[in-house]
Amino acid sequence: GKGSVCFIGIGTMGREMVRNLLQAGHAVSVFDISEAAVADVVKAGALGAQNPADAARNADIAITMLPDTPHVEAVIYGEQGLLKSPPAGRLIVDMSTISPVVVRRIHADLRRIGVSFIDAPVSGGPLGAKNAALSIMAGGEPEAFAKAEPFFQAMGTTITHVGASGAGQTVKLCNQLICGINIQAICEALALGRASGVDLELLRRVLLGGSAASWMLDKLGPAMIAGDAAAGFRIDLMLKDLRLVQEHAQALNVPLPGTALVTSQYVDARAHGEGANGNQALFRVYDRITNQ
C-alpha cells in the first residue's frame, strides 16, 4: 500500500521531490519556513502543516531537504521539531548535503529513542528531481534503508545503500568534489577557446562527442556560454559542500589540492556577489582573469 510522508524543506529540490511522491500515490504533509513554498505544493495535493512536529505525527517517514547542517539540526531538535513528535513509522531520512560527523551524532541520538536515521543525499540537480531520476546514496542500518526504499523509488532511479550512518554523505562529498573541479575545468577550456576565437557552442558540442564529455558540460555549458546566471544549484551551496569536503579530508589527513584551488575560485565568485547565482557563474571568475 502507499505510505504517508512528512516532507520538510520545499525549495528548488524539495518541491519537485514532493510532486513525485504525490504522483506515486503517497500522502504528503509538508512544512517550510516560506509560506509561498508550502502553498506551491499544497496546490499539487500536499497537506500544509504549521511546523515539523505537526507534519510528522502520523507519517510513516519524515524526510528533510534543507540547505545546510544547522537547518537540519533546527528541524530535528527545535522547539516544534521532529523530536517533539517523531513520525509514527519511527524513521527520519535527511536528503540534504550536510556534515557526515553531525549525521552520525544525530543517528546515535535518535537511536536512543528508537528512531532510525538515514542519510540519503542526492545527485542529479533540479532536472533529476523533476524527472524522478535522482541518484540517491544512503547510509544507515539495512532494515531502515529497506523501509525508506519504496519512498526513494518515487524520487530516484539509482538508489544505493552505500554503508553505515554517514556513508551517504561521504559518497556525496566525493561527488561534489568532482563536480566542482569539473566545472572549473570547463571554465578554463571555454576561456582558452574564447581567447582563440573559437565558437563556444561549437566547441561544447565537439567536446560532448569525445572523452572530455561530462554532465556539467552538457547541463551547465549552455548557460555558461550564454552568460545566464539563473540558479539551479547555487554558488553558495557548492561552497558549503566544498567546505564539508575539506573538513572531512582534514580530519582524515587526506590532502586535496585540486579542491583547495577550486574552492578559492568559488570564494572569489561569492565575494563578487554571485552566491545566489547558479554554478555556471564560476565562468565569471575567468571573465575577470582573462579581462573579458
Residues that bind ligand NAD (CB under 6 A): 8-14, 31-34, 37, 65-67, 71, 74-75, 96-97, 122-123, 125-126, 232-233, 237, 241
Distance separating alpha carbons of residues 32 and 94, to the nearest angstrom: 15
The closest residue (CB) to ligand NAD is 11
Helices (H) and strands (E) in the chain, counts: 14, 9
- Least distance (Å) between residue 90 CB and ligand NAD: 21
Smaller CB separation from ligand NAD, 29 or 97: 97
- Least distance (Å) between residue 174 CB and ligand NAD: 14
Residue 7: φ, ψ to 5°: -125, 120
- Least distance (Å) between residue 235 CB and ligand NAD: 11
- The residue assigned the cell 561530462 is 214
From the candidates 43, 130, 147, 172, give the one annotated as an active-site residue: 172
Smaller CB separation from ligand NAD, 5 or 203: 5
Distance separating alpha carbons of residues 214 and 47, to the nearest angstrom: 39
State how beta strands 122-123 and 134-139 pair. Answer: antiparallel
Distance separating alpha carbons of residues 60 and 92, to the nearest angstrom: 9
- Least distance (Å) between residue 143 CB and ligand NAD: 25
Smaller CB separation from ligand NAD, 17 or 225: 17
The answer to whether 43 is a known catalytic residue is: no
Nearest CA-CA partner of 51 in 72, 18, 91, 79? 79
Q: Contact 8/32 with Cβ under 8 angstroms? A: yes
Smaller CB separation from ligand NAD, 137 or 203: 137
Q: Which residues pair with 119 in a beta bridge?
A: 94, 139
Active-site residues, by number, are 172
